[in-house]
A and B are shown apart, each in its own frame.
Chain A
Amino acid sequence: MKNIALFGDNLRKYVITVLFIIYLVLNLPNYVFANNENHNHEAECFNEEIEVAEEKFNAGELIFDHIMDSYDWHICTWKGKHISINLPIIVFDEGELYAFSSKHLHHGHEYVAQNKHGDDVVFKIPDDGKYEGKVVRVGNDGTLVRPFDISITKTVCGLLISCTLLVVIFLLVAKGYRQRGERAPKGIQALIEPLVIYVRDEIAKPNIGKDYEKYLPYLLTVFFFIIFNNILGLIPFFPFGANITGNIAVTATLALFTFFITHLTGKKHYYKDIFNTPGVPWWLKFPLPLMPVVEVVGCFVKPVVLAIRLFANITAGHIVILGFVCLIFILGEMSAAAGGAVSVVSLLLAIFVDCLELLVAYIQAYVFTLLSSLYFGAAAKEEHGH
């Protein structure tokens, strides 16, 4: 019991530190680039503003607000006020870096920065059109130009938080191993260890073969990254709940890592199998190289499928859970009785789906790691390794 309490204490300290660092990072542009701002008022992180009008409840909008990326992190709405964190916008435009808080761009407001020549550069987030919801530069003639946008968006912010937590947790676990040596694991070490052994013995070893140790760090990183973000994504409170693994860019990056590792470590045999596929009739390879084309296309399809599977599963899960919760409000708007009646059922269903999502969080991490290890296994196969 003492250990658990101690661990909780440590964790709390870490979480507070992490939050503080994030707060600093988010506010950094406000201080550093203060001279870029025309109105030099005190930087504020929390933005409270009064709702313009009572909106009709829109479930689709709410759900999409949740699963889509945005420039600020909406925490909750309290007494008609949105409480959200304004995240920094960082854009590269014509070789120059602009960084400012997203609070300047609310509701179509324009933000005027100055470039090194002293000219005004106007940024805004259009409400409609091609660049809806994205930061654009307004050209002199009114044309919209999308700059190179590396803003710390909600997803990036969540990503940085979860990555920091992930690193902290694993360094703690590694420290535990260094200190406890070969004795039985304890605390968080005991939580992580079965998963590490599972990835090693059930995923890496049988699918890769004798070279598995080379790929093990990547497989473990991917597995824990996905399962960690999946589970954090299910926690509805700040600083968690950002839809990280349900974002196609995130899953695409993971898939690209797998793709590059597969093809950079691929042995001669692997490439020979692609261009001279064994076990098919020769006329499928010559004169029309049908099989090689299929194989090469397959190489690129695999990571795409990896990315889409993870993204779709997690996004779908979030949509379903939010859908059940929204059901209460949709019916509640019609009549309070209907909302009350359906809330019990809806809540139970949401809880059920939430539990299901926990399972999916694990399964998707498993599937991604398993498929990655299968691809690595094919790449690492030796000449006579059938």
Chain B
Amino acid sequence: MELITPDFGLLFWMTLAFGIVFFILAKFAFPVINDMLKKREEEINSALEKAERTHQEMEKLQADNELLLAQAREERDKILNEARQIHDKFIEAAKSKANEEKERIIENAKETIEHEKMAATTEIKNQIAGISIKVAEKVLKKQLESDKEQLDYINRILEEIENKNQK
């Protein structure tokens, strides 16, 4: 029976001892421990969150980079294509222009040549006429040096004219 009867003295000491232990631990030990545990947990949580966020940002950044890269590649191809087209067009235009120019120059040259030819012909004709007249003069002069010859000549011409008139 004594085993299950709480002894009063022991109740007294136990209340005192446990009360003091409870007071000391609840005032000096557990607040410190719990606060620090909480703080550490928060620290770890925030660190993990931060790492997660950084990871996500990294992934996003990488995706962005790839997108940018793809865009840049596309842009480059486009620019190259355009450049090639412009280049081709330019060459084409230059070629046709050169051809035109060539034609024109040839035309011009032909015209000039024609002109020159005409002029030259005219001049040659004129010169030939002058020279002919001079030669004729000289020949006439030589033939008509004597009066007799002059008379002969006049007679011959008169005869000729007469012949012509008779006819």
Contact = CB atoms under 8 A, between A and B. Distances in A.
Interface of A: 64, 67-69, 132-133, 148-153, 155-156, 159-160, 163, 166-167, 170-171, 173-174, 177-178, 181-182, 192-193, 196-197, 200, 213, 216-218, 220-221, 224-225, 247-250, 252-254, 256-257, 311, 315
B3 A67 contact: yes
B28 A69 contact: no
B21 A221 contact: yes
A171 B34 contact: no
Contacts of B122: none
A166 B31 contact: no
Contact of A200 (B9, B18, B34, B36): B34
A156 B10 CA distance: 6
B3 to A, nearest CB: 7
Interface stretch (B37-45, B56-64, B81-89, B132-140): B37-45
27 contacts: A67-B3, A68-B2, A69-B7, A69-B10, A148-B9, A150-B13, A151-B9, A156-B17, A159-B14, A159-B17, A166-B25, A167-B24, A167-B29, A170-B24, A170-B29, A177-B33, A200-B34, A217-B26, A217-B30, A218-B22, A221-B22, A221-B25, A247-B10, A248-B3, A248-B4, A252-B11, A253-B14
B18 A163 contact: yes
A224 B30 CA distance: 12
A221 B26 contact: yes
A170 B25 CA distance: 7
Interface SS majority for chain A: helix
Interface of B: 2-15, 17-18, 20-22, 24-26, 28-34, 36-37, 39-40, 43
Contacts of B14: 156, 159, 249-250, 253-254
A224 B42 CA distance: 25
Contact of B10 (A64, A153, A213, A218): A153
A112 B30 CA distance: 47
Contacts of B39: 182
Contacts of A256: 15
B17 A163 contact: yes
Contacts of A249: 6-8, 10-11, 14
Given A163-B18, A181-B36, A248-B6, A220 B12 contact: no
Contacts of A221: 18, 21-22, 25-26, 30
A181 B37 CA distance: 9
A225 B18 contact: yes
A149 B9 contact: yes
A217 B29 CA distance: 9
A156 B18 CA distance: 11
A220 B32 contact: no
Given A156-B9, A163-B18, A216 B25 contact: no
Nearest to B32: A174
Contact of A253 (B4, B18, B30, B36): B18
Contacts of A193: 33, 37
Contacts of B17: 156, 159-160, 163
A225 B21 contact: yes
B3 A167 contact: no
Contacts of B31: 217
Given A181-B36, A196-B37, A150 B24 contact: no
Contacts of B15: 253, 256
Contacts of A217: 22, 25-26, 30-31
A173 B29 contact: yes
Contacts of A216: 30, 34
B26 A159 contact: no
A174 B26 contact: no
Contacts of A192: 33
Contacts of B18: 163, 221, 225, 253-254, 257
A69 to B, nearest CB: 6
A216 B32 CA distance: 13
A292 B132 CA distance: 165
Given A68-B3, A193-B37, A252-B6, A174 B11 contact: no
Nearest to B15: A253
A102 B85 CA distance: 117
A171 B24 CA distance: 9
